Every structure is written in structure tokens, then in C-alpha cells.
Chains A and B, each alone.
Chain A
Amino acid sequence: MAGNREFFNRRLHSLLGVIPVGLFLIQHLVINHFATRGEESFNKAAGFMENLPFRIFLETFIIFLPLLFHAIYGLYIAFTAKNNVSRFGFFRNWMFMLQRFTGVITLIFVSWHVWQTRIQAALGQEVNFDMMASILSNPFMLWFYIIGVISTIFHFSNGLWSFCVSWGITLSPRSQVISTYVTIVIFIALSIVGIRAITAFI
């Protein structure tokens, strides 16, 4: 018997992308959005998250472990595909390619972002409005963050669409078209939230 480890891993990968990683992404973007209300407001919100009880457990089980699994298994998925958009230029095939492409971009961005904020925090730096403002004062970093955030949100929104197919939630072509529109709206809405937060730091 061949075993069904692959089935388990792939479904786990799909689930973790939405719960908890996707939910964490939304929460993170919402907290960042406090920056639009000023420095004090952002520092208060970030401070609240920072001082949550059992933080290291929350981070480990809601963020680090699921994210690590999703990232490593996702890389495997991305590099076992043989993209063929030049021969088959259908909308969904483009989304398939972009899902893998943005996955890799997101991994690069998130790794850097974790290094620059969470690991620096562990090394004693304070994560606050000033830290972000100084990072984003560099034009290269500003664009890196904008591209990174958009790529992450795209990967999440389009991932929601394929999550619905992979678990058998959207079955008919019509339901899949409707979920395409729904995920486009999610992509635009979250992008506005993310970009507004970034620009609030400059």
C-alpha cells in the first residue's frame, strides 16, 4: 500500500493556510491599521498584542509552527509544478502560477519581516511605530514591504478560493465563479487595509 501521507500533508497545508495563518494575517493587518490613527494609537494596539498572556505559546502554535509547515510544504508544491501559462493561458492557470510565485515571494518577505521585527524584539529592541517608520523611510524597504504585503494578500485570497475547491465546499462552476468574485473583493479590501497601514508610517 502506498499510504496516504501525501493526502494528509496536502490537506493540512490547505487548512493551515486559512486556519490559523490566514486568520492571523487578517488580525495582523487590522492591528497595523491602527497606525492610520496616529503613533500613540498604534503603539497602544501593538503593546496590547505584545503583552497578551502566554504570548510565546500563542505565537508558537498559532503562527510559527503552522507557518513553518505551510511554507516548507508549499515550497515543495511550488517546485513540483511545471508551469505552462504560455501554452495554456487560461485565467485559472495564471492564478495557479501566481499562487506559487506569490507563495515564494511571500516566504522571502515574511522571513525578512520576522527577522527585522520579531527576532530583533527577542534581541531586546522595542517594536513600535518608530521602528516601522525608520524601516519604511528607506525607499527600497518601502517598495519591498508594499510588494510583500500585496503578494501575501493575493496568496491568501486566491488560496481561499482553492481551499474551497480542495475541501469540496464550492463544487459547481457557478459556485466557483462566485467564489472567484468573493476572493477578488477580499483581495482588494485587505490590500487597502495593508497599504493604508504602510503609508501611515511615512
Chain B
Amino acid sequence: MMSDKKSVRFIITRQDNPDSDPYQEEFEIAYRPNMNVISALMEIRRNPVNVKGEKTTPVAWDMNCLEEVCGACSMIINGKPRQSCSALVDQLEQPIRLDAMRTFPVVRDLQVDRSRMFDSLKKVKAWIPIDGTYDLGPGPRMPEPKRQWAYELSKCMTCGVCLEACPNVNSKTNFMGPAVFNQVRLFNAHPTGEMNKAERLNAFMEDGGMTGCGNSQNCVQSCPKGIPITTSIAAVNRAATLQSFKNFFGSDNV
């Protein structure tokens, strides 16, 4: 479609350090077939000259797997948060506008600090505790259909796109964000993880937890892995409803 194009134009919102003001810089690079945003950024890095012909600093961004499974290269491309490795230049309208996901603290240019997501996972104990002083033996088996179902939830790569899309994740709230629901549900559904179900729910019911959701459902629309996040949200809400009754009235059903 655009293969006759000789060059690709980029408008990149840059920022020199976490506290400085963002500014825009334009770049034009030679077109090559099958380019993605990362290969274009690499081209800019190789020869950091902007559209005015001035020599500038290379644009900084994060990347790792280059196959949309690690989540590191997420940024806003033409207004949509997504991974730059799977954003093909041929499919993008030009000039291609790149910006950092500003829901997160910007480190430099397109690089953001997503540690808040990992902190949230620690808070809600999104893991399965199996360490002990002796071998506990094999855990309960997971039925195959359930494993296949859980696999879909396990595709979350903590990329941060759902937090960027969520209107309730912002500086005015301490909401952990949509991704956490899915992880709580994943580990609560695991036959071994289920043993610590109440612990995870109670941690997630604390301030900044699940109640921050306002059901805009942008998360499920934006998730690059197609994870049914809103189903996880409603499922965790249901479990929390029961858990809160148990907490309040007491229960011998541990």
C-alpha cells in the first residue's frame, strides 16, 4: 500500500529526564519494506539527525523480546498505547506520532518506569507460595480444560497498556489498575494457588485495590493479548463480595 513511499516521518515526544518538560522532535528516515516502529527507532539511533538536519541525541526507548510477549516496548503510537515491536510502519498513518505512556513516570523519551505494576503484584501476593523446609510433593492436578482457560489469563505481560487506557488510573487515585484483577484471578484459580485465595482477595480489597474500577472497560478493548480482563474484574468482584461477608460474619468454611 505504502511501499512506494521513499521515507517515513516521525513526530516523537521527547523528554530529557524525569523532571524536565516534554518537547517534540521530528525525524525522517529512509523507508525499508516491513519496517516496524522499533527498526525505525534503531535507524534514528544510528544517525540521530532531526528533520531540520540538526544533530540530536538518540531517542531512548525500552525493548526486549521483539515479539510482543515481554511488554517492555509499550508506548503511545498514533494515540493508541501498544507495543512498538508489533506496530508495522506499513499499517500506520504518517506522520507516525510516538509518545511515552505518561500514566507512568517517564525515565527518558519513550522510556517509562512500570515498577508500580510489579509493586501491585507483590501487594496482592500474585504468586503461588510453595517454598518450605521439606518437599511437599506434587500439588493437585489441574484439569486440562481449566489449564487451557488459565493459559489465556497467563498471557499478561505487565505491559501497562490497560493502565494507560484506564480513566481511573491517574495521579488523583491510588488504583492499582486492571491488570491486577487478572493476576488475582489467575492465581486464585490455580489448584495450589487456591489455598491462599482469601489472602490475595483481602490484600486486593485494601485501599488502592479493586474498588478503583469504574467499569469503563477500556482495558479489555486495549489489551494487546486479548485477555478477558473485564470478566476477571467481575469474577474478582464476585469473590470479594463473598469474602467480605465471610470477613464480617465469620465463617467456618476456611
Contact = CB atoms under 8 A, between A and B. Distances in A.
Interface of A: 1-7, 9-11, 77, 79-84, 87-88, 90, 92-93, 95-97, 99, 161-162, 165-173, 176
Interface in B147-181: 165, 167-168, 170, 172-173
A92 B214 CA distance: 10
B167 A81 contact: yes
Contact of A171 (B172, B214, B215, B238): B238
A6 B204 CA distance: 11
A172 B173 contact: no
Interface stretch (B114-122, B130-138, B205-213): B205-213
B244 A7 contact: yes
Contact of A167 (B205, B212, B214, B241): B241
Looking at chain A's contact residues, is the secondary structure mostly helix, strand, loop, or mixed? Answer: helix
B173 A166 contact: no
A176 B217 CA distance: 11
Interface string B204-242: 011111111111111001100000101101111111110
B233 A165 contact: yes
Given A77-B214, A84-B218, A168-B234, A7 B209 contact: yes
A6 B241 contact: no
A93 B206 contact: no
B60 to A, nearest CB: 24
B211 A80 contact: no
A84 B234 contact: no
B241 A10 contact: no
Nearest to B173: A80
B139 interface: no
B79 interface: yes
Given A96-B215, A165-B237, A168-B238, A3 B207 contact: yes
Contact of A93 (B202, B207, B209, B216): B216
B218 A93 contact: yes
A93 B173 contact: no
B167 A84 contact: yes
A95 B230 CA distance: 15
A83 B214 CA distance: 11
A140 to B, nearest CB: 33
A74 to B, nearest CB: 11
Contacts of A11: 211, 241, 244
Contact of B218 (A2, A77, A90): A90
B108 to A, nearest CB: 23
A131 to B, nearest CB: 38
A37 B217 CA distance: 43
A168 B207 CA distance: 19
Given A6-B207, A96-B216, A168 B237 contact: yes
B79 A87 contact: yes
A172 B235 CA distance: 9
Given A80-B173, A93-B217, A168 B222 contact: no
Contacts of A5: 207
